Structure 1
Amino acid sequence: MDQLGEIMTTSGFYLGGGTALALLLDHRHSVDLDWFHPKDFDPRQITERIQDAGIGLTILRTEEGTLHGLLSGVRVSLLRYRYPLLRPLVMWSQYRCHLAALEDLVCMKLVAITQRGAKKDFIDIYALGQGTLTLAEMLRLYQRKFDTQDIAQVLYALGYFADADPEDMPRLYLNTDWRTIKRTLESWVREIR
């Protein structure tokens, strides 16, 4: 990650998604790397740069503005992400890379919940709500980032656990369980409605 982090940062990418959030909050184990770039990029060019550094990235799929691969069994995605950042990037010196700020990560997670509803995404929102941000604050950030007032789909998704229920529980560094997480999220949604 040290070498990859530096290459990604000097190439204009920043780490987002669950791993960035896990680095900042230390609430769960995360095993994938989602790198975002604000502009179009050439997947072949960044692949060459990574491989020239001796990093054994196996390419699984590329298309315009997207690269998916594996690095030592870890899923790596490079994605064009056109939405402006709400806050400046955070420098994570241990891995010499930039991370999205919490305010931007929460917005990414709310979108992820509306699109796929994975257990890890609900856990991430729960962890953010434990003294970092209220759900109301998270929703205001979402509205600002995506320039929308419509949060109905987000509120619905925050209470829909059917897809997440059968998934394995990620390794947590929080003293909680899935049932508590679901009840807490449902309570937060009721407060908003």
Structure 2
Amino acid sequence: MFTNILTANQVKLLPLVKEFSRDYYLVGGTAIALYLGHRRSIDFDLFTSGRIKKQSIKRLIDRHKCQVSDILFEDSEQIHLVIHDVKLTFFSYPYRIDAPIDFDQIIHMPDLLTLAAMKAYALGGRAKWKDYVDLYILLRDHFSLAQISEKSKDIFSAYYNEKLFREQLCYFQDVDYSEKVDFVVQPVSDEEIKQFLTDVATTPFSF
């Protein structure tokens, strides 16, 4: 795993993250970056198949003497906190996800193809440039669009729409660039990423 993608504050929070390993698994851009080492991370996304137990979360945070500087959002299914300039998300995920990969005996993660499928499925609900960067690296170096789509269908069934994913993959008008992408590898220009994703999205499947 490419642990160099973590900030110093994230490393300090790893003992706290480990406390949630029984009920939660690590997903999102941070999990993908730990596999690929392509960009620095800024957060921890912790998902569970069960209910969010807010009192338990707050109790464990207090036990580690961590100071919550902000609560960005919370409802019955999720809570988004900021601790030491690191955003932690706790989310009750409605789909079955296997997380067999052990990250340094801290917390488990799904395999990379599952993370790619989750990223593809989530693209319709947001438009952050870092998500397009992640998908660019995944599609350039690791998986075909067909492989990601097949995995997405396995996980999300009829809730995944391949046509919509292709459209989203090459639609950039509403993209949020507010979170700067800090490349660890050789930086890639926005235009190169856009052109590659457009080519992939408009090309027939090839396994």
Query: Same fold by TM-score, threshold 0.5 exceeded?
Result: yes
Do structure 1's residue 49 and structure 2's residue 60 form an aligned pair? yes
Normalising by the residue count of structure 2, what TM-score does the alignment of the two structures yield?
0.84
Structure 2 gaps of 5+ residues are 1-12
CA distance in 1, matches of 2:168, 2:138: 17
C-alpha distance 18-117 of structure 1, shift in aligned 2 (>3 A): same
Are 1:99 and 2:105 matched, yes or no? no
Structure 1 residue 59: Cα displacement: 5.3
Find the counterpart in structure 2 of residue 192 from structure 1.
Answer: 204
CA contact (8 A) 2:149 2:162 kept: yes
Partner residue, 2:41: 30
CA deviation digits over 1:133-152, x for unaligned, max 9?
11111111111110127311
Q: Distance in 2 between matches of 1:5 and 1:48?
A: 13
Aligned counterpart for 2:121 among listed residues 104, 111, 114: 111
* TM-score of the two chains, using structure 1 as the length reference: 0.89
What is the Cα deviation at residue 169 of structure 1? 4.2
| Equivalence for 2:8 | none
Q: How many residues align?
A: 190
Cα offset, 1:115, TM superposition: 1.4
Q: Per-residue displacement from partner, 1:43-81 (whole Å, max 9, x unpaired)?
A: 122211221232323451432121111110111110001
**CA 1:45 to 1:118, structure 2 compared with 1: closer, same or farther past 3 Å?**
same
DSSP 3-state at the match of 1:129: helix
**Greater alpha carbon shift after TM alignment, 133-142 vs 47-56:** 47-56
Unaligned runs of 5+ in 1: none
1:159 aligns with 2:179: no
Identity %: 24
